[in-house]
Amino acid sequence: MTFDRRIVLVVSMAALAVFLYGSIDYHSMPYAGMDLKYYRESASFSPSIASDIPKPFCYRLLGPWLAGLFPDDVAGFRIVTWLSALLLAILFYRLLLSMGISPAAGAAAVFFLVMNKHLFGISTWNFFQVKDTLSLVFIAAAMLAMRRRRWGLFSAALLGGALTGELAMIMVPVLFVFLAGRDSFRAGDGAGEDRTPAANRDGGAPPPAPRDGFARPAGRQGWARPALACLPAIAAFAAVRLLVSSSGGIGLMESALRYGVKLKHPMVWYGLLVNPFIPLTFIPLIFFRESARFLGRNLHLAAYFLLVLASASFGSNNERLMAPAAIAFYALIAFIIDARVLPRGKHWIAILAAAAALSSLHHSIARFPLPERSFTVALSGGSLLALTLIFLIFFAPLRRRPGGAPGEKSSMNY
């Protein structure tokens, strides 16, 4: 198997982003009084299991436990979080390739992800929130294993996610949406995988055939092994909550009751659906046909996004709670890049990248911070507005011409 040189690029981009986001000033208020104090306390028990820490922090075992294995817990949190960030970039890139996305579009999507201060930057900046990045690593690994029908790897990734936090468990319903969608797709046209536009144009390869012997023909009889693969994680998730003692705090139901009422406020929806994805927020709407086609062939990603959105009602930091949705959102962006953007020329990728880089700048989440919050608002809002208008002007009119622009393939061929 030939080495994909873009892996080096992907790792380099993620490492540069981690460096540029800098580190939280954990000694100073208000940061010293944030959740990080519970994660540090949990790490102090390692290699034993932490106890008598408030819920839900006492249940998020794996990240602090790994950090606590180091002689200095701060260094441990840094190393575990930063390595997780690099691994996330690699896994997400490999996941995109497994979907038939081209290497060029996949690398671009990774760049957009690591340049997102809300979905990537804040978790590397506040490296004590190791469960955020580590959970995404396990989710990306589980999705990749799921697409390749590697149920042993899927089970291990889901188990790791269950020990890290609550979020990875949404992969259980996502798995069954995926299986139902694959069965329906096979029954409809005899194809077993997505046929996305990148598969043959830019070196992308279709998803590899399963190599673990777990592949099954269409039909519910092929669901037994995937269902069994979920059981270790479900058992671990339940056992942690039954056996680990807490010193108070609130559980999932109490969190839903406390924070769920926020959904009646319009600005909360802005924080959930617009601000986290700046500057690319409206690109899927501009290319609505491609978005519909992609989601129609990947219903599990639509379900995954909706489940992440529902889980955001369990907390208050809206943008950070939407971070897991990055996997679905940037997979869609990568598809759109392959279908409509790359055929028009790579200079359009440069425009997208410039907007993403500008919107990544922040007045506190940065090694080289902006002078004040107004600069962050101006750059984020300006990049969103400019990019949306540019793509509306130069791409939306193409829909009225059946052939599209000269030299561009019609997306209807995909």
Outline where DSSP puts E strands in 103-237: none
> Over the stretch 242-296, which tens digit does the pLDDT of each residue have?
999 888 888 777 888 888 888 889 999 999 999 999 999 999 999 999 999 999 9
> Over the stretch 87-123, which tens digit does the pLDDT of each residue have?
999 999 999 999 999 999 999 999 999 999 999 999 9
- Confidence bin at 217 (pLDDT 50/70/90): very low
Diameter over CA atoms, the chain: 66
Q: Residue 71: is it exposed, middle or buried by C-beta count within 10 angstroms (0-12/13-18/19+)?
A: exposed
Pairing of strands 53-55, 246-249: parallel
CA dihedral over 99, 100, 101, 103, signed as positive or negative? positive
> Over the stretch 319-358, which tens digit does the pLDDT of each residue have?
999 999 999 999 999 999 999 999 999 999 999 999 999 9
Above 50 in pLDDT, residue 179? yes
Distance CA 371, CA 31 (A): 19
Q: What is the distance in angstroms between the CA of the first residue and the CA of the last residue of the chain?
A: 27
Predicted pLDDT at 398:
57
Classify residue 334 as left (phi > 0), alpha (psi -120 to 50) or beta: alpha
**Three-state DSSP state, 54:** strand
Distance CA 114, CA 10 (A): 10
Predicted pLDDT at 399:
54
Closest CA to 172 of 183, 163, 161: 161
Classify residue 204 as left (phi > 0), alpha (psi -120 to 50) or beta: beta
pTM score: 0.88
Distance CA 10, CA 90 (A): 7
Which segment of 29-38, 162-171, 227-236, 402-411 scores lowest on mean pLDDT?
A: 402-411
| 108, 118, 227, 309, 320 from 124: Cα distances, Å | 20, 10, 33, 22, 12
Predicted pLDDT at 256:
80
Read off the DSSP letter of residue 249.
Answer: E
Predicted pLDDT at 52:
86
Q: How many Å separate Cα 203 from the centre of its chain?
A: 24
Predicted pLDDT at 379:
97
- Confidence bin at 193 (pLDDT 50/70/90): very low
Structure tokens that stand for 288 in this block? 């609505």
Q: What percent of the chain lies above the pLDDT cut of 70?
A: 86
Task: Please give the single-letter amino acid code of residue 95.
Answer: L
> Over the stretch 361-412, which tens digit does the pLDDT of each residue have?
999 999 999 999 999 999 999 999 999 999 999 997 655 544 444 444 443 3
Q: Answer for the pair 76, 62: CB distance below 8 angstroms, yes or no.
A: no
Write down the mean pLDDT value for the chain: 87
Residue keyed to tokens 């990749």: 144
| 13, 19, 76, 114, 262 from 85: Cα distances, Å | 11, 11, 14, 9, 30
